[in-house]
Amino acid sequence: MTRLSSSAINAAIIAGCFIALVGFGMVAAFGVFLRPMSEALGWSREVFSLSIAVQLLCWGLTQPFAGIVADRRGTGRVLAFGALMAALGFWIRGVTESPEVFVASGVIVGIGTGASSFPVVIVALGKIVAPERRPFVMGLGTAAASTGMLLGAPLSVGLMSVFGWQAAILIIAASFLLILPAVIFIARVSAPTASASSGGVGDAVRMAFSDRSYVLLFFGFFVCGFHVAFIQTHLPAYLQDEGLGVAIGGISLALLGLFNIVGSFGAGWSGQHLSSKNVLAGIYAGRAVVITAFILLPISFASVVIFSSVMGLLWLATVPLTTGLVAKTQGLRFLSTLAGLVFLSHQTGSFVGAWLGGRLYDATGSYDAMWWTAIALGLLATLLHLPIRETPGPLARAES
């Protein structure tokens, strides 16, 4: 690979952080539209939840293919395509009043976010920096995505209050076009790492799934997706059900984003100095404890602030650690592909968390079953991460 100048690398890191901020921020904050849209259009909550669930699943299904293209063709084309698809999907959401079309729009948005979201960006950045810098740079990209969530939630609420929910969604659609100029700086440094002519993707995937550590990362990340999608989709509505105002839902998502900036930087630091698998196990155990306390104690503005702040520290801190472990155990040649497959597991969990939350609420009038499921899965993920090996596996050794 041609040696890259430090200025080109730094410009790509800045551009990548901007893409992560825009590409994830409004998507993660979209849950603030659940109750206003459902009430205005006369939909059950399952309609909105199913659209988000389809979006998250298609995001996950797109991720491995986006990774394959990025490994073989570079990341720039992938990001540009994703930005255009996401813009189209959100435009459809802003103009349709059909529940069927709204649900189907999740396919387009999912493909778009799968190709333009921060997992694609942080893997690209991780390939161009030295191994010792990789966890920090991946944490930096994740923190940028969290900043987007911090800004996206109150901005979405503000846009709704001024322009109404339909115009607010159209503004979100237009924001994805801001990604296109930044893609240029990523494209300059994102060289292919896998030859299209030599193949090997199938063999790499088989070797990875023969490695117990990769399999444990794959299934453990399902739990992260379940937690994140359920909370960011249903927490604002849950708080309104408990008698708190709509603005509190936006504040809760903003606090998740704010404190996840700290959590993501902390994860990047810990990946350089501590055992990544042990930190991951601690994150999942911490989530279980925080959720338990939140649902057992009386709901108030103070409890929401505390819950959102502490959960924010644990929110996407899993991403740089998990991606870093994939790189450490499986190597760099097929990193976009293999990280994409792990993220598919994450998004499968996201599908279940987003959809099942709405389904169970419509059936029972309560989110209680979902909260307790989230606790049980957090404890399971804790146990899954403890046996992970942090040394190169067969695939990484073959690469070297």
Q: Which candidate, 134, 114, 140, 121, places its Cα nearest to that of 16?
A: 121
What pLDDT shows up at residue 198? 45
Which pLDDT belongs to residue 197? 43
Q: Is the dihedral of CA 329, 334, 336, 340 positive or negative?
A: negative
Rounded (10°) angle between helices 76-95 and 45-73: 160
Q: Are 108 and 54 in contact (CB under 8 A)?
A: no
Pairwise CA distance, residues 221 & 344, whole Å: 9
> How many alpha carbons lie under 13 Å from residue 323 in its C-beta half-sphere?
36
Numbers of helices and strands, H then E, in the chain: 18, 0
pLDDT attached to residue 400: 64
- Rounded to an integer, what is the distance from CA 309 to the centroid of its chain? 18
Q: How far apart, in whole angstroms, are the C-alpha atoms of residue 124 and residue 351?
A: 25
Q: What letter represents residue 72's amino acid?
A: R
CA distances from 107 to 52, 63, 88, 112, 372 (A): 9, 13, 11, 9, 29
Q: What is the pLDDT of residue 212?
A: 94
pLDDT of amino acid 1 = 46
CA angle 206, 208, 211 (to 5 degrees): 110
Which residue ranges form the domains of the chain, and what is each CATH number? Answer: 6-399 (1.20.1250.20)
- Please report the sign of the dihedral spanned by the C-alpha atoms of residue 27, residue 29, residue 34, residue 37: negative
Other Cβ atoms within 10 Å of 229 Cβ, number: 29
Whats the size of the chain, residue-wise?
400
8 A C-beta contact, residue 137 and residue 122: yes
* 195 φ/ψ sector (left φ>0, alpha ψ -120 to 50, else beta): beta
- pLDDT of the chain, 400 residues: tens digit per residue: 456 678 888 888 888 889 888 888 878 778 788 888 888 888 888 888 888 888 888 988 887 888 778 777 778 888 999 999 999 999 999 998 899 999 999 999 999 988 887 778 877 777 777 777 777 787 788 778 878 877 887 888 888 889 988 999 999 999 999 999 988 888 887 766 555 444 577 888 889 999 999 999 999 999 999 999 899 888 988 998 888 877 888 788 888 878 988 887 787 777 777 888 999 999 999 999 999 999 999 999 999 999 999 999 998 889 889 988 998 899 878 887 888 889 889 988 988 998 898 889 888 989 999 999 999 999 999 999 999 998 888 888 887 6
Extract the tokens encoding 206: 């088989």
- Rounded to two decimals, the pTM is 0.75
